Structure 1
Amino acid sequence: MELNGVPIDDTYAEAFPTWVSRVIITAVTEEWAYKAAVEATGFATSAIGCPAEAGIDCFVSPDETPDGRPGYAILICATKKKLKEQLVERIGECILTAPTTAVFDGLSDVVAEVTEKIPVKLHFFGDKYEEQREVGGRTVWAIPIMGGEYIGEEEFGAVKGVAGGNLFVMGETQMSALIGAQAAVDAISGVCGVITPFPGGIVSSGSKVGSKYKFMVASTNEAYCPTLKDKVEGSKVPEGVNALYEIVIDGVDEDAVKMAMAEGIKAASKVPGVTFISAGNFGGNLGPFKFDLKDVLADEL
């Protein structure tokens, strides 16, 4: 099958379950909200070695936030136990410390049913000078700090979501593949309830489950390394492809990830020099979610 003249591989992306919380960060300006969001989602690319997978979901306009200020929504994805730890640590260390910030639970804005609530009790930092109040119909804590007050909700929704949805953008050159991947990430950013947690939303290294080294849980995916296509048996790098990039997508549910994959593929297929689009799977060894590219693009082909 083809889209915009670009062959789409007859394969599927394999994904796994994760617990997801969505935090809305507001500040006096969009710039300060963005800086706090970037800080709060650092070192959170892959569950292989990071304590969480996290990223910026979308900008939230002042007319959509509880306190009427500009904000950004972030997603934090982890195991249920780690999710509470990561909410406490990332909000406490990266958002409370940022100028003029406030935080609110944002999960109910993108899912119909919130299955769990996680307590994040940071008001003790106020050393008994903190106080409860209402902001935008929500009960929050106001903590006195040197810059004024930090305002925050202390209960965040959590839902069992999806991690590891993906697509591979392949090109004639490194730059054509990279520009195609960038176009895909830009398109995915318009889908609420998903993140692309790697640097700039793009994975350069790629990986597979397991390794020839017993102490490694993951290793380079040699079947997709262009420099090895003439050296390894079963290379999956098509003729004429000299670079490829993976885009990993985490989301609040299967529908959100499927929509993001579709938007990403459509955008990448329009970039000159992009010659093939595929996805990664491990035969069911990674997780139970299966996103067939032909199903993802059913409305486009």
Structure 2
Amino acid sequence: MKKVNDVEIEDTYCEAFDGLYTRLQITAGDKKRLKQATEGSTALPCTVFNESEGGVETYLNKTETIDGRPGSIIQIWVNKTGGKEKLEHETAKRIRQGILVVPETKVFNQTNSNKKIDTMKKIGHCGDGYEWTEKRHNREMINIPIMMGEFLIEKQIAYNTGIMGGNIWYYCDSNKTALKAGDAALKEIKKIKGTTTPFQICSAGSKVETNYPEIGPTTNHPYCPTLKNKIKQSKVPKQTKSIPEIVINGTNKKAIKKAMKKTIQTITQHKGVQKISAGNFGGELGKHKIHLHDLI
């Protein structure tokens, strides 16, 4: 048995998938509007419904942004099977509804790749033909006239292939412990470039098989603490009252592994954390298998 900080690390692996992502820099005139645009455009992870996942990578101070204003970096992801067209559609939808409508915001490319999406077709034309391109901040920008001035977005944003679905499960003696340990881990993950946690602390891990396929994945019932005395197939230990999951997407496997390792190191420092595990699908769905024992 392997342990970290006297907490058992289960001999298992997480099962992750290839995805397409774009990293974008958002800036705004003030921190309130920045937070609205950042969180609004990345809300509601829903790749299980064949849409997209969004996550906040980090917030930036004025000295770190392209235009010298408060900023953030976000990531938008789709399953790789959806291709460039799916990423373009989902990214445009999130920008139009989550950022463009927030006063005094701008969007810049933050992805280092030769693969490009032209934002004119699905975002620029929100100007209804009155939009124009111009050089601003040493970049080619689309200027969309809006009722509070202008919305600026870089004409070409890049995308690349990364890894979705790295994850850590941690067994706890209470929800209070789970939240405290998880928040500490999320804080550390934000320091790792190229990673994001679309669900943050996820309270409801799911499974593939379901009695209700019309609504998609349903609760992973063997791991629900409230069912441990009601079902024979429960896998919840007697003293465990909470099993959260932290899902991590990353621009490459190295970033995913680094984030998972840091998560383990951070969570296991908290009293009340009983065991570390990970979610997988028996090795049948994900291309990438990241073994916990290899990380420690």
Q: Same fold (TM over 0.5)?
A: yes
Report the CA distance between 1:64 and its aligned residue.
2.7
Residues 111-141 of structure 1 deviation map (CA, whole Å, 9 limit, x = unaligned):
xxx2521122133333444332222321112
Partner of 2:56: 56
Pick closer, same or farther for the CA change 1:213–1:147 going to 2, 3 Å. closer
CA–CA distance in 2 between the matches of 1:140 and 1:225? 49
Partner of 1:247: 246
Partner of 1:31: 32
Q: Is contact 2:19-2:161 (8 Å) kept?
A: yes
CA–CA distance in 1 between the matches of 2:182 and 2:237? 17
CA–CA distance in 2 between the matches of 1:214 and 1:149? 44
TM-score when scaled to structure 1? 0.89
CA–CA distance in 2 between the matches of 1:213 and 1:32? 40
CA–CA distance in 1 between the matches of 2:233 and 2:14? 19
Alignment of 1:191-270 (within 5 A): 191-198=192-199, 201-213=200-212, 215=214, 217-233=216-232, 235-270=234-269
Report the CA distance between 1:38 and its aligned residue.
0.8
Report the CA distance between 1:175 and its aligned residue.
1.5
Residues 204-262 of structure 1 deviation map (CA, whole Å, 9 limit, x = unaligned):
11111122445464222122122333454554323421211011111211111111111
Residues 185-221 of structure 1 deviation map (CA, whole Å, 9 limit, x = unaligned):
22212222111112xx111111111224454642221
Q: Is contact 1:210-1:216 (8 Å) kept?
A: no
Identity of aligned residues (%): 37
Q: Please say which of residues 89-98 and 217-226 is displaced more in the overlay.
A: 217-226
Q: Is contact 1:67-1:135 (8 Å) kept?
A: no
CA–CA distance in 1 between the matches of 2:37 and 2:47? 22
CA–CA distance in 2 between the matches of 1:29 and 1:214? 44
CA–CA distance in 1 between the matches of 2:196 and 2:250? 6
CA–CA distance in 1 between the matches of 2:216 and 2:101? 35
Q: Please say which of residues 159-168 and 26-35 is displaced more in the overlay.
A: 26-35
Partner of 2:67: 67
Q: Which runs of 5+ in 1 are unaligned?
A: 109-113
Partner of 1:279: 278
Match of 2:110 among 106, 110, 118: 106
Partner of 2:95: 91
Report the CA distance between 1:289 and its aligned residue.
0.7
Q: Is contact 1:169-1:180 (8 Å) kept?
A: no
Determine helix, strand or coil for the equivalent of 2:22.
strand
Report the CA distance between 1:30 and its aligned residue.
2.7
Letter in 1 for 2:94: R
Between the two proteins, the alignment pairs up a number of residues equal to 289
Letter in 1 for 2:182: A
Letter in 1 for 2:31: E
Q: Is contact 1:6-1:269 (8 Å) kept?
A: yes
Q: Is contact 1:6-1:277 (8 Å) kept?
A: yes
Q: Is contact 2:49-2:216 (8 Å) kept?
A: no
Report the CA distance between 1:92 and its aligned residue.
1.6
Letter in 1 for 2:53: E
Q: Which runs of 5+ in 2 are unaligned?
A: none
Report the CA distance between 1:98 and its aligned residue.
0.6
Q: Please say which of residues 208-217 and 136-145 is displaced more in the overlay.
A: 208-217
Report the CA distance between 1:177 and its aligned residue.
2.1
Pick closer, same or farther for the CA change 1:243–1:137 going to 2, 3 Å. same
TM-score when scaled to structure 2? 0.91
Pick closer, same or farther for the CA change 1:214–1:129 going to 2, 3 Å. closer
Q: Is contact 1:18-1:77 (8 Å) kept?
A: yes
Partner of 1:111: none
Pick closer, same or farther for the CA change 1:130–1:212 going to 2, 3 Å. closer
CA–CA distance in 2 between the matches of 1:32 and 1:62? 14
Q: Is contact 2:257-2:295 (8 Å) kept?
A: yes
